[in-house]
Amino acid sequence: MNSSFNKLLIFKTLITSLLIIVFSTNFLFIERVDALSDSKQLVLDAWTLVNEGFYDPEKFDEIQWKRIRQKTLQKQIETSEEAYSAIEDMLKPLEDPYTRILRPKDYELLKSSNFGSEINGVGLQLGEDDDKKIKVISTLGGSPAEEAGIVAGDFIKTVDGIETDELGLANTASKLRGQSGTKVLVEIFSESGEIREFDLERRSVDLRPVRTKRLRDDLHTIGYLRITQFSESVPKKVEEALQELKEREVEALILDLRNNSGGLVSSGIAVADSLLSEKPVVETKDRNGIKDVINSQKQTSFDGPMVTLVNKGTASASEILAGSLQDNGRSILMGEQTYGKGLIQSLKSLGEDSGIAITVASYLTPKGNDIQGQGMTPDKPLDLPEAREYGSSDDKWIKNAELFLDSLLEGQEEEISIQTSELSNEGTKS
């Protein structure tokens, strides 16, 4: 009896061991096949990068992030395009338009705009509003979009007949870019509901991120410095521009950040460092809630009176710069409420040619103000039509800034009266 029982026990143990080996082998085989699939590996790499870097890990529990990975990898994913689409679907529950897959063309264009001096397209900087509508943050100077009359605050309804609700932010931006000389049909609706249609021809848009000149009147000499975006080369170009203005003996500075939709945060911080002496520039908060204050160095490139011009197209890195200048009492902000993008993205390579942008932190101004979704309020609001060309002779915003700086340089300490009503009656050339 004991002998038969022992044999039966041995047999059952042997069968169980064989089953374990078989299932383990199959499991390992499946895992190995997936590991050898480049397209599925791309999806897994994207999931891992987001899992390790996304600024709001509490969102993962809310959307069952690990389950999303499992369900995504069970899909039939055999090509790179199928992988990109799967990653897009995987990222949607995060509800963060700035965390997004960048296909090879988009990745290359984004890198060229951050590190280069020109880009092919129509010249629109886009974002999403609270209702997921694709909104124009700003138009690039001298671009087809600017020449057509598209302005910050307009919404993109369709691109080549495809609804932007279907495309999403990244694909809308991608469809607007393309080879110089090709055309794209864009349907726009304004905040008032007016619908317009434009047949825009793509071309190479000279970003010219830093522009400067000297303004002279009967009283004083004032420098004008416009920054259109924060690419890698901007801090050095700003240093050179400020040095040139100092050599030309300017007494004050107008910093123009209108329609500057951001770019590299590090560049915006570096420019703030040129204008502030041992002051806090920005406070960042990472996924662990750890706050890190970034301070400027002692040496500055210009320490005279300043006015900074902002509008609803001023966003992201330009808001960091404007916020640091305002909170430290370094510059008056003049213009309109800014866009309100207080999130920082990190750009990661994915595979050989593609990339992924991940929101990794939020930022606060030196006084702890959260800009995300709110924007910054100017010290001196301006309710004036904007010039078609910023910094031109018909730019009334520049005239207001000059009047304010003239008053400061004259030593007037009482409240300055901005002559907006008089100037607004002069009209704007179109």
Q: Is 80 annotated in the active site? A: no
Closest by CA position to 260, among listed 198, 336, 209, 214: 209
pLDDT score recorded for residue 30 = 38
Q: How many domains is the chain built from?
A: 3
- Same domain? 412 vs 323: yes
d(C-alpha 45, C-alpha 368), whole Å: 35
Would you say residue 427 lies in a domain?
no
Q: What is the pLDDT of residue 118?
A: 54
Which residues in the chain come in under a pLDDT of 50? 1-34, 36, 116-117, 412-430
Q: Give the integer Cα–Cα distance in Å for 128 and 124.
A: 13
The verdict on 281 and 400 lying in the same domain is yes
Active-site annotation holder among 39, 231, 261, 316: 316
Among 312, 322, 311, which Cα is nearest to 271's? Answer: 322
**What's phi and psi for 134, nearest 5 deg?**
-80, 115
First to last CA, the chain: 105
CATH of the domain at 70: 3.30.750
Q: Which of 327, 331, 362, 399 is catalytic?
A: 327
Last residue of a domain, one of 159, 178, 206: 206
- Domain assignment of residue 21, given as a range: 2-99
CA dist., res. 381 & res. 308, Å (int): 12
Tens-place pLDDT, residues 188-211: 998 888 999 999 999 877 667 899
- Same domain? 227 vs 80: no
Q: Residue 94 falls within a domain, yes or no?
A: yes
From 67, 99, 131, give the residue that closes a domain: 99
Q: What is the value of pTM for the model shown?
A: 0.74
- Let me know if residue 281 belongs to a domain: yes
Closest Cα to residue 80, out of 354, 308, 324, 298? 354
356/263 same-domain check: yes
Helix axes 317-327, 265-275, angle to 10 degrees: 30
Instruction: Tell me what pLDDT residue 111 has.
Output: 73
Instruction: For residue 327, indicate whether it is catalytic.
Output: yes
- Say which of 341, 348, 396, 399 is annotated catalytic: 341
pLDDT of residue 248: 92
Tell which of 53, 69, 99 closes a domain.
Answer: 99
Do the domain assignments include residue 107?
Answer: no
Q: Would residue 104 count as lying in a domain?
A: no
Query: pLDDT tens-digit profile of 87-103?
Result: 999 999 999 988 999 99
Q: Is the domain of 35 the same as that of 89? A: yes
Q: What are the DSSP calls for 298-351, one per residue?
A: S--S--S-EEEEE-TT--THHHHHHHHHHHTTS-EEEES------EEEEEEEET
Q: Is 124 a member of any domain? A: yes
